[in-house]
Amino acid sequence: MKQAKLYKSSKAMQVLSQESIAEFTDFIDTVVEKTQEKPRLIVIDTLATCFSGGDENTAKDMGEFLNNLRGLSRKYNRCNILIVHHSGHGDKGRARGSSSLFANLDAEFEITRDESGIIHVKNTKFKDEETSAEKFYRLQKVELGTQDGEEVTSAIIVPEIKSLVIEVGLDSEDNPITAKEIVEFFGRGTGTIQGLADSLLVSKKLAHTMAKKVTKLGWLEKIDPANRKSGYRITDEGRRMLSVCGASLIPKEYTPPARPSYPWRRERADVDN
C-alpha cells in the first residue's frame, strides 16, 4: 500500500447514470493505458454523493446502484469497490437507506470516534469469514512544511490498543462507568479504593473490581504488588492515554464531580449507625 498510486476523479461518478459511468471508465482507461496497471480498488465517496437521480431508501434503486458497481468491478478484473456511507439518523448502528445494501455487501466496517478522540473500527459483517476483532486508532498531527510563511499540517492515523471510554461497570442507576473515570481518579496519585467508591457512589467491592479491570488493561498498577490490600496508582501508559484523549492529570486538590445522591444510601447508613 505504501507504493500504491492514487488517482482522484475531478467529479463524482453518478452510479445510476450509464453516461456518467462511461465518462468515469474513460478516465480509468486513460490511467490504465498510461501506467499499464488496472485498478485494484475504486472508492465511492460517499454513496449519497454518487446516488443522484435515485432514492437510497428503495430496494429497486439500491439494487441498480449495486449492480452497476458489480459491472464496474468485473470490467477491471473484479477489483474491490469501497463504499463510504453514513449511518442512519434514527439508528446509528446501521447504514442509512435500504437494508438491501447490507444484504449485498461482502464486508462492512463501522467507524466511530468516541469522546476521547479514539477511532473505533468494528467489523460488522464478513461474508465468507469470521468477523475480525475491533481495532482502535487515533489521529496524529504531521507537519508538511510551510506555504506563504504559514505551517501546513495534516494528520495520519496510528494504532491504539484500546480506548479509555470503555465500560468497566455500572453505577446504582445503571449508568456506565468508564475506564477514563477510574484512570482520572487515580491520576491524583493519592486515590484509594474507598475514595473511588465514595466518588462514584458505588460499593467498595465494585470499585475494587473496576480497578482490577483497568489494571489488566495496563493503565493502573498496584503500589505494592506483594500486598493484597495495596492501593493503586496510574501507570505511564495510563498517563499517555489521558494525554491522547485530551485530559490532563487531575491536581491533588481536585474534588470529583458529585454524582446524584440516593436516599436509600443515607437511610441504610442511618440504620447501620
| Mean pLDDT, the chain, integer | 86
Are the C-beta atoms of residues 181 and 150 closer than 8 Å to each other?
Answer: no
Across 116-142, average pLDDT: 91
Which of 120-134, 154-168, 258-272: highest mean pLDDT?
Answer: 120-134
* pTM confidence score: 0.70
Question: Is 60 strand, coil or helix?
Answer: helix
Rounded to whole angstroms, how far apart are CA atoms 66 and 97? 13
DSSP state of 99: T
Per-residue pLDDT tens digits for 201-254: 999 999 999 999 999 999 999 988 888 888 899 999 998 888 877 654 444 343
- What separation in angstroms does the CA of 85 have from each of 63, 78, 245? 16, 21, 26
Looking at the predicted structure, is the pLDDT value of residue 141 above 80? Answer: yes
